[in-house]
Structure 1
Amino acid sequence: MAHEIKVAELKAALAERLPLQVVDVRLEQEGGAIPGAVHVPLTEVDTYAWPWPRDTIVVVYCQWGREASRYAAEVLEEAGYTDVRLLTGGFQAWELG
């Protein structure tokens, strides 16, 4: 089961250039995106060829940090990713944080 990561923790990890991949599963990137995030719309999550090593830390976010990101996390875990995290509050929290 995916763990949650708070905005401050993600910002610190990005500033330290820790090896992680951020995935935006919103259908459209209205209002911007987290720097360096890969956009994989939720409609493509099931068929996307996840290119990263399976031990990569993957942080998934949607607009609010709820169902869409949880579903994407489940898909990633089924694909063999061992460290999947959900951004608490999604992109809304990122903008406020």
Structure 2
Amino acid sequence: MADLPSVPAALVPAGVVVLDVREDDEWAAGHIDGALHIPMGQVPQRVQELPADDELHVICRSGGRSARVVAWLQENGYDAVNVAGGMGAWADAGRPMVADDGREPGVL
């Protein structure tokens, strides 16, 4: 998977489609406002929910799950990029996050 396209979390452009593949509890604790949330195990069954014509920036906690999803999406005709370092790197870069319950967002 080393040859997968990736972008550092600090350099993800504003306005792109972000697909968060973490589990529900991770998402609830803190996520990117406006991101699509489909846990990794549900992506094959829910792939029709993804925009077919947009580049997808796929994120998880640290970059491992998202890399596997990027590989699968590319094999299935999607333009997908892994967000290197995941939500941990996103938070470290000071990028904005929201939490579902109104608390201070964080990364599980």
For the aligned pair, the TM-score class normalised by the smaller chain equals 0.7 to 0.9
What stretches of structure 1 of length at least 5 have no aligned partner? none
Root-mean-square deviation over aligned CA pairs: 1.6
TM-score by length of 1: 0.79
Which one has a bigger Cα radius of gyration?
Answer: 2
Match of 1:44 among 38, 42, 49: 42
Give the deviation of 1:72 after TM superposition. Answer: 0.9
CA distance in 1, matches of 2:41, 2:88: 20
SS at match of 2:29: coil
User: Structure 1 residues 84, 51: closer, same or farther in 2, change over 3 A?
Assistant: closer
CA distance in 2, matches of 1:34, 1:2: 22
Q: Is the 8 A contact 1:45 1:75 kept in 2?
A: no
Amino acid at match of 1:93: A
Q: Is the 8 A contact 2:22 2:60 kept in 1?
A: yes
Amino acid at match of 1:9: L
Structure 1 segment 1-97 matched on structure 2, within 5 A: 2-10=4-12, 13-14=13-14, 17=15, 20-28=16-24, 29-48=27-46, 49-54=48-53, 56-66=54-64, 68-81=65-78, 83-97=79-93
SS at match of 2:22: coil
Amino acid at match of 2:67: R
TM-score by length of 2: 0.72
Give the deviation of 1:52 after TM superposition. Answer: 1.0
SS at match of 1:59: strand
CA distance in 2, matches of 1:85, 1:31: 23
Give the deviation of 1:30 after TM superposition. Answer: 4.4
Give the deviation of 1:31 after TM superposition. Answer: 2.6
Q: Percent identity?
A: 28
**Paired residue total:** 88
